[in-house]
Amino acid sequence: MAAVWTKRAGGAVAGLLAGLSGALWLGGGGARAAEPITLQLKWVPQAQFAGYYVAEAKGFYKEAGLDVTIKPGGPDVAPPQVMAGGGADVVVDWMPSALAAREKGVPLVNIAQPFKRSGLMLTCRAETGIKTPADLKGRTLGVWFSGNEYPFLAWMTKLGLKTDGSPTGVKVVKQGFNVDPLIQKQADCVSTMSYNEYWQVIDAGFKPEQLVVFRYEDQGVATLEDGLYALESKLKDKAFVARMAKFVKASMKGWAYAAAHPKEAAAIVLDNDASGAQTEKHQTRMMTEIAKLLDSGDGRLDPADYERTVGILLANGAGQAVITKAPEGAWTHAVSEAER
């Protein structure tokens, strides 16, 4: 069932009843069993995935005749591996990771791209004297791995900087999913997202003027993030494509609602945060920033954005390339066209 046992007072019973009623869909004059879909997220419950949680909470999936189970991610969860193991029908992933998985034998296909722009940034302490990308030479930089390092490697290749720690290159510190290396001055710069870790730096006591930020979008090395992917073999089934079409349409409706109602969307996300680690302030702020990255249309992938991402990944250079050749069949408009 897609029911979520909410933490807020009175929410538990309402959430369970909503899930139970969602198992039956009234259409064509009678009750029909809702079509099940399992969605695997890339990370833990937060506003980065608000559109899906909102679509569930507001009944958009139910209206589409769907019973959606949303599985949270985490540091030990790799969406392509979950998909390969049959643990999900659709996953949220960054395109570099999805394309790498495809080349390695997990044929993921992009069926929708809710995020139009990248939120990835490199945030530096201004006191280091770093003012331009050229000043990164010889510096220590915090970088996320597990598939998130590829845009960084592409950028360094573009700058002509090796990542071997040499004086003429940069030293890379494997960064956890926090900003500790910057705060503790173990790194001159760290990886941040415009909607999350940057604000963790601010909340740690830094003022914006004490930071220098390089947005990957501005540097011409931004790759697509948070797309929706399904297995190529399943997309040969017209019934599955039709089900995905309903899911994408309802999800984009959820994203539109979340962008227009960031505070309510944050509250819905918090209802799904079993850890209790998130705060309303941070999630509301996150949703406000994420709204700036979203596609305002139907979530259909722009082929030009895809080609740009592939070109950036292929330009990484020997030993750093995430993919060795341009993929074929890595995206489709079949799902968005099926809903027309």
**What does the DSSP 8-state code read for residue 86?**
T
Q: Per DSSP, what are the bridge partners of residue 67? A: 36
Determine which of 28-42, 160-174, 175-189 has the lowest per-residue pLDDT on average. 28-42
Residue with tokens 């006191």: 127
User: Is the pLDDT assigned to residue 321 strictly greater than 90?
Assistant: no
Nearest to 177 by CA among 101, 259, 76, 273: 76
Q: Are 192 and 123 in contact (CB under 8 A)?
A: yes
Name the residue with higher pLDDT: 29 or 41.
Answer: 41
Whole-Å CA distances, 328 to 4, 50, 84, 232, 310: 38, 31, 19, 11, 11
pLDDT digits (tens, 9 = 90+) for 2-34: 433 333 444 444 444 444 444 555 555 556 789
User: Is the pLDDT assigned to residue 1 strictly greater than 60?
Assistant: no
pLDDT, residue 16, reads 45
Whole-Å CA distances, 125 to 137, 181, 186, 193, 200: 15, 11, 11, 16, 14
Percent with pLDDT over 70 in the chain: 89
Nearest to 149 by CA among 325, 308, 316: 316
Mean pLDDT across the chain: 90
Instruction: Spell out a b/e string for 269-308, using b for 16 or more CB atoms within 10 Å of the CB, else e.
Output: bbbbbeeeebeeebbbbbbbbbbebbbeebbbbeeebbeb
As a whole number of angstroms, the distance between CA 38 and CA 88 comes to 5
Q: Per DSSP, what are the bridge partners of residue 37? A: 68
Confidence label for 99 from pLDDT (cuts 50, 70 and 90): very high
pLDDT digits (tens, 9 = 90+) for 51-60: 999 999 999 9
Confidence label for 320 from pLDDT (cuts 50, 70 and 90): low
Q: Quick one: tokens of 203? A: 């909340």
User: Is the pLDDT assigned to residue 136 strictly greater than 60?
Assistant: yes
Q: Are 253 and 13 in contact (CB under 8 A)?
A: no
Domains of the chain: 11-117+224-338 (3.40.190.10), 120-219 (3.40.190.10)
Confidence label for 154 from pLDDT (cuts 50, 70 and 90): confident
Determine which of 153-162, 181-190, 234-243, 266-275 has the lowest per-residue pLDDT on average. 153-162
pLDDT digits (tens, 9 = 90+) for 226-275: 999 999 999 999 999 999 999 999 999 999 999 999 999 999 999 999 98
